[in-house]
Structure 1
Amino acid sequence: MRPKRASTDHKPKEDRHFVTALARGLEVLACFRHGETTLSNQELALRCKLPKSTVSRLTMTLTKLGYLIHIEESGRYRLGTACLALGSALLAKLDVRKIAHPLMQELANLTGTSVSLGVRDKLSMIYVEHCRSNAALTLTLDVGSRMPLVASAIGRAWLAAASDSDREQALAQARELDVKAWPGMQAGVNKAMEDYRTLGVTCSFGDWNKEVNGIARAFDPGNGLPIMAINVGGPSYNLTPEFLINEVRPKLLDLVRAIEDALPQ
């Protein structure tokens, strides 16, 4: 595995080059979650923790630029085609997806699972590639789906592979977001760190969804790209922890090594 990189997170309030208005506009766009079609100014204001008047100005600007579409009948907003252009351009440049896809599909078919490649976005992991087997009992997820950073196997894999400072910052944000649930989250992360050292993977057996089991491994693709992780999972009634650990884990580790070997140095 490639060496861990230094932290790249910045504290906006300490950076004189940080453009607050731009950041707020991007926060508005980030409010749209997988499966959600439209949001109102009120919903956006709650999620961004900004005054509704500020959000109204931001949505108007984003609409004029094509990043949002205003639905006059309901007064709500949906993502515009300018966002699609940005996302498509990014995915097209992720060569690691082209390398990983056939290997992921082979593993999915061989094990009857769903295999996903994800990158971190704040307290979530976003799928940028997703393969499922022909088996009927697989997860109905796809590219763009979000997994919780602390509770999912793929999120825990990122935490295990991240630099100490990046991991500590992410966990501090998770703790601040839900203080009451933090002891349980911390216990899960501590167990995941130990699993990563002893098994080479992180696990989530019903932690983020009681009906879903999964294991994951992270890697650094280099070339300025962020740490990525590959998750293998599926319904808990079909994929037992024993099957994932004993049968799937060696194949997942081989898959990640194959991707790392194929990536340009």
Structure 2
Amino acid sequence: MKRPPKKAATDRSFVVALSRGLEVLRAFGPNDGLLGNQEIAARTKLPKPTISRLTYTLTKLGYLTPVPRFEKYQLAPAAMSLGYAALANLGVRHLSQSFRDELMQETGGAVAVGARDRLSMIYVGQARSSLTVGVQLDVGSRIPIATTAMGRAYLSALQGEERAALLRDMREYYGSRWPRIKDGIERSDEMVARYGFTISAGEWQDDVHAAGVALTMNDGTGPYAFNCGAPAFRFTEERLINDIGPRLLAMVRKIEAALGGTAAPLSRRTDKSENKKTKSGGKVARVVEGIR
């Protein structure tokens, strides 16, 4: 969830109680079964008495199911239906499915589409095969914006104050790690400007390499971002630059045409006359990514 443009204390239109109730629901992650009031309080940083009132209310409304034996709660079907309804209304998810499946078959990589959730990208669609056993992500999985190909591609599509605000939030969150992360983001911006896509080679997880491309919709939604990733031994940096990245960009171009969105322009590197020059791209990739 994006932060409101004004502080809650000064924004008379901001409903604090509603915000806190939604924070309780957000406390439940994809791998969480049951959570107690104390665990929810720790995750939301709200007082436990407040959490007790909120979980009681959400239970009465049917969004939480109490489990008295353990004095804990789990998400009820009414809460989960909100997520399913959101997914069902994401046209980009449904329309891109056949394209993602096709690219997955062609490359052997996992191909996903994601949208922003605070400092993370959340997977809203995923195509995966047995060849991508090292990439254990599915719909609902979260990955960081700052160090992943999908996240950096998304960031490259933001403009003005929206981008500046996200960068400020990341700087505050990462603290002493920010200078190094910022360098990676700047390299990715340069890469998007040059090639139309970016890559992350072991910057999020040592054994995962991926390429990323953003898609901005003309209806004002998004941006969204796509990635194609695999274990590092399958997707070398050279292959990301010379094969996976251009294929992913071409795929997003097709989706753009179908949805009426705007993808990054095809770069000169995808032109056949230039392809021969990129066969020695291993060194180029290392320079672009700051790896020497």
Q: Is the TM value for this pair above 0.5? A: yes
1:102 maps to 98
Counterpart amino acid of residue 6 in structure 2: K
Aligned to 2:114: 118
State the Cα RMSD in Å: 1.8
CA contact (8 A) 2:132 2:230 kept: no
1:11 maps to: 6
TM-score after normalising by structure 2: 0.84
Counterpart position of 2:165 = 169
* Matched ranges for 1:229-244 at <5 A: 229-244=225-240
Q: Which of the two has higher C-alpha Rg?
A: 2
1:17-39 deviation digits (Å, cap 9, x = unpaired): 11001011111111222222222
Which residue of structure 1 lines up, in the alignment, with residue 286 of structure 2?
Answer: none
For 2:255, which of 244, 248, 259 is the aligned residue? 259
Partner letter of residue 209 of structure 1?
A: Q
Please list the CA deviations of residues 29-58 of structure 1 after superposition, one character each: whole Å capped at 9, or x if unmatched.
112222222222222212211111111111
Matches within 5 A, 1:69-84: 69-84=65-80
Q: Identity of aligned pairs, percent? A: 43
**Other-structure match for 1:215:** 211
Instruction: Say yes or no: does 1:135 pair with 2:131.
Output: yes
The 2-side partners of 1:238 and 1:125 are apart by: 24
Q: Which whole-Å CA distance do the structure 1 matches of 2:218 and 2:81 have between them?
A: 24
Residue aligning to 1:153:
149
Q: CA deviation at 1:8?
A: 9.7
How far apart are 1:194 and its partner, in Å? 1.2
Match of 2:281 in 1: none
Moved over 4 A (4+): none
Deviations 1:209-261, CA, capped at 9 Å, x for gaps = 11111110011123242210001101112221111111111111111110110
Of residues 7-16 and 198-207 in structure 1, the stretch that sits farther from structure 2 once superposed is 7-16
Aligned equivalents of 2:27, 2:155: Cα separation in 1: 23
The structure-2 alpha-carbon separation of the partners of 1:57 and 1:8, relative to structure 1 and needing over 3 Å to count, comes to closer
- Asked whether the equivalents of residues 34 and 146 of structure 1 are also in contact (C-alpha less than 8 Å), the reply is no
**Using a 3 Å threshold, how does the CA distance of structure 1 residues 8 and 223 change in structure 2: closer, same or farther?**
farther
Length, aligned pairs only? 259
Q: Secondary structure at the match of 2:96?
A: helix
Cα 1:98–1:190, aligned 2, differ >3 Å: closer, same or farther? same
- Alignment check: 8 A CA contact 2:113 2:123 kept: yes
Structure 1: tracts of 5 or more residues without a match: 1-6
Query: Equivalents in 2 of 1:181, 1:70: separation in Å?
Result: 40
- Aligned-partner residue type, residue 37 of structure 1: G
Write the deviation string for residues 126-160 of structure 1: whole angstroms up to 9, x where unpaired. 10000013425452211101011111111111111
Match of 1:3 in 2: none
Match of 1:42 in 2: 38
Say if 1:193 and 1:42 are closer, same or farther in 2 by CA, change over 3 A: same
Provide the C-alpha distance between the structure 2 equivalents of 1:260 and 1:149, rounded to a whole number of angstroms. Answer: 22
Q: Distance in 1 between matches of 2:105 and 2:4?
A: 38
Residue 193 of structure 2 aligns with an amino acid whose one-letter code is R
Q: Which residue of 2 aligns with 1:86?
A: 82
Other-structure match for 1:4: none
Q: Is the Cα–Cα contact under 8 Å of residues 66 and 80 in structure 1 kept in the other structure?
A: yes
Structure 2's unaligned 5+ residue stretches are 262-292
1:24 maps onto 2:10 in alignment: no
Residues 174 and 182 in structure 1, CA contact (< 8 A), matched pair in contact too? yes
